Amino acid sequence: MTAAELASKIDHTILKPEATSAEVHRVATEAMQLGCAAVCVAPVWVGRVATMLRGQPVATAVCTVVGFPHGTAKSTVKAIEATSTIKDGADEIDVVPHLPHLLNQDLDAIKAELLEIARAARTTRRDVVIKVIVESALLFKALGADGGATALALACRAIRESGCDFVKTATGFHPAGGATVEAVRILKQHAEGLGVKAAGGIRDLALAQAMLDAGADRLGMSATVEVLEQLRRK
């Protein structure tokens, strides 16, 4: 795999709450120059980054987050946030659902929340890409190996049936941890048409490659520049 091929699978990310305008500008510029699939920024930066990318000869999408990082806002508030960021220029949104619904394996509750968000998002822009973050490490920690795998399978079903596009491993902010190769394998097994995004703690080339080998279609990373440099040195 070339550096360009790897970059095309990466959402180059800056979501730390203390990020400055200069840092966000740098990351967006890097994403364009490297040919990343997307640049992922907090909602407050979407309008500025969308303006930066407008008219550029690149295919880098503007991605943002909804209900981030804990998923504790009401679904109506998440729907409003999704609509607002899409109007600002977001091409893709990564949504944190209400985590107790995932832990309780409550299919109807998961679907009800995601349907409200997805309907609002699609009404604003039909082709917006919606990714849903399931905090896979939390599910395994709380439910054990078998229970976690069952919860991931149910989450994939709910995400698919609510009309969303991707299942994503983690925010990278939860203390339970981020992406694991095993979680990606399980998500890929149950995706059935969904894309799989691995995110949370991917900081070197070996782990990035392992995630892709396990079935990830996208990687969410803040260490993009360093990982691509590792690949170029091989």
Strand, helix or coil at 219? strand
Confidence of residue 37 (pLDDT cuts 50, 70, 90): very high
Q: What is the pLDDT of residues 154-180, one digit of tens each?
A: 999 999 999 999 999 999 999 999 999
Confidence of residue 59 (pLDDT cuts 50, 70, 90): confident
Known catalytic membership, residue 88: no
Q: d(Cα 29, Cα 39) in Å, to the nearest integer?
A: 9
Task: Scan for tokens 């079903």, then name that residue.
Answer: 157
Known catalytic membership, residue 168: yes
Residue of 9, 78, 131, 197 with catalytic role: 197
Indicate the residue type of 11: D
Neighbours of 73 (CB within 10 A): 16
Q: In the predicted model, is pLDDT for residue 5 greater than 80?
A: yes
Q: Is the pTM of this model over 0.95?
A: yes
Q: Cα separations (Å) of 193 from 84, 111, 168, 213, 232?
A: 27, 17, 14, 17, 32
Confidence of residue 55 (pLDDT cuts 50, 70, 90): confident
Mean pLDDT over 41-70 rounds to 94
Question: Could you tell me the two tokens for 115?
Answer: 């349907």
Task: Scan for tokens 């407008």, then name that residue.
Answer: 54
Can you list the domains of the chain with their CATH numbers?
3-233 (3.20.20.70)
Known catalytic membership, residue 94: yes
Residue of 9, 111, 131, 168 with catalytic role: 168
Residue of 94, 111, 131, 188 with catalytic role: 94
